[in-house]
Amino acid sequence: MWTLLFPIGFFVFFVALVVVILVYNNKKERERTQAMQAMAARLGWSFAAEAPMNTIAGMEQYALFSEGHSRQIRNFMYGLASGVKAAAFDYKYVTGSGKHQSTHIQTVVYVEPAKLNVPPFALRPESFVHRVLTAFGYQDIDFGQRPEFSRQFILRGQNELAIRQTFNDRVLSFFESYQGTCIDAAGNQLFLFRGGYRCQPQEIEGLVGLALQITKLLEQY
């Protein structure tokens, strides 16, 4: 009898633990949504708890939004920042499947300055995997005069000449001070994030300010 009760008891305990975790996570997500909505109100922005993937025109062309599956936009807030169209949201997607499945979620800031016009590019922190891939021909635009930037980041895009002109010495120097920064940009659209990092609601305003600072630098190329 005891040999039967033990696995039953373990199963009940496991189910109860899963339920507790789900309830806790749902509670934390509700609290985050409320906090993000409050921040949107403080900024004078509009807010939606969920938004479709075509909320921002052309998102599908950017590297971040073409990865994985089960893509979701949550806690979407949008409005004007210093007269520039801007937004911030939590973006979630899944890579792999089954026991190899991984969920990725990060806060993304978006700005759309009228004067910005950059060639399409993707900027990411350079990892060991990237260094191995570049040895086999994976594109990484390096700058000999800025070895620190080239060590920290992998920069990719089809129009390498235009990207090199965009990333002048001032831009390269700026990014050397912001390790871990990720950017997807083209034309007058720029997305800023840190891979796998969901910022606190009170950090949103600062991240939007950083994105605007970057666009000012890029406008001057």
d(CA 154, CA 150): 7
Confidence of residue 9 (pLDDT cuts 50, 70, 90): low
118-125 and 153-156 beta bridge pairing: antiparallel
**Rounded Cα–Cα distance for residues 106 and 161 (Å):** 31
Per-residue pLDDT band for 98 (boundaries 50, 70, 90) equals: confident
What pLDDT band is residue 138 in, cutting at 50, 70 and 90? low
What is residue 100's predicted lDDT score, i.e. its pLDDT? Answer: 83
Label residue 142 by pLDDT band (50, 70, 90). Answer: confident
Number of independent structural domains in the chain: 1
Q: Report, as an integer, the average pLDDT of 123-149.
A: 76
Enclosing domain of residue 95: 2-219
* Averaged pLDDT, 81-105: 93
The 10s digit of each residue's pLDDT in 177-197 is: 998 999 999 999 999 999 999
Per-residue pLDDT at 15: 58
Residue 76 pLDDT > 90, yes or no?
yes
CA distances from 13 to 18, 19, 142 (A): 9, 10, 54
